[in-house]
Amino acid sequence: MNIGDIFTLKKVIENTSIGSATLIAEDVMGNYIENLFNFLMVKGDEYKSPSDYYDAFSTKWNVLWRSGFRVGSALLRNKMITELVTRNLMGGELYISLKEWRSNELDPDTVEAGVEALSKAFAARVFVKRSGLRYDQLRRDTTNGYVAGSLQHPFTVEEVHRRIEYYVPHVSSKPKSNQNQVIGQQHFIGTKQEELICLRCERGKPECFGVKTCAYDTKADGSAVNSQEVIDAKAAKR
């Protein structure tokens, strides 16, 4: 394919909607609606891997963003601030950006940063909601963790993608006749129970998915995370 063919193909893609209608570049609202629909109706089940889904989702999100989509409601901002304060999540980037936005509404840069952070949180929820049936249990685990106060919904698409990449689905298994197991106990596919605990912060999934991606500074009880020496010792015993 030569350069001329590439530009021709690019023009065709830009001027074609997901339906049968042809989009006109000057039709701002028409393009906006098509891009929004195309984004919200993405289906994770249509992609072979989480990475393929992530790439396609990011492309749709960037197109929608360039068309002018923003989640910039002051009412939603204030509700999110209240939720984050209630759940003691004032140290994250989202809370800081939203608080600065509310405190400096006349500063365009501060407002833009707050709107972008809120928009990213919106995109993250769409990403996990549309990820497909194979991640239905992950959505249930996240919701249960949120209700219990042990887990927060992610605020960026990158964080959702990380959870999906490392997620190990669990199934119920009946005990064998020669083993002392509890009926209905949850087992993880191909993984021992002790291997599901992060060696650094000692949290289990879905709170933490292992040392490589661990972002915690303390353990669940507030004590310091394990040193590299302790981590190496624990890993050698597995």
DSSP letters spanning 8-35: HHHHHHHTB-SSSSBP-TT-HHHHHHHH
128-155: b or e for each residue (b if 16 or more CB lie within 10 Å)? bebbbeebeebeebbeeeeeeeebbbbb
Mean pLDDT on 199-226: 78
> Residue 103 pLDDT more than 90?
yes
* Structural contact between residues 119 and 111, judged by C-beta atoms closer than 8 angstroms: no
pLDDT for residue 74: 95
pTM value is: 0.62
Confidence class for position 16, pLDDT limits 50, 70, 90: very low
> Residue 105 pLDDT more than 80?
yes
DSSP state of 186: E
Mean pLDDT on 151-156: 88
pLDDT for residue 17: 44
11 versus 142: the higher-pLDDT residue is 142
The per-residue pLDDT for range 68-86, each reduced to its tens digit, is: 999 989 999 999 999 999 9
List 187's β-bridge partners, or say none. 171
CA dist., res. 205 & res. 213, Å (int)? 12
Mean pLDDT on 21-47: 88
165 versus 237: the higher-pLDDT residue is 165
The closest of 3, 28, 53 to 11, measured between CA atoms, is 3
Residue with the two structure tokens 């530009």 = 7
Mean pLDDT on 101-112: 96
Least confident span in 11-20, 48-57, 70-79: 11-20
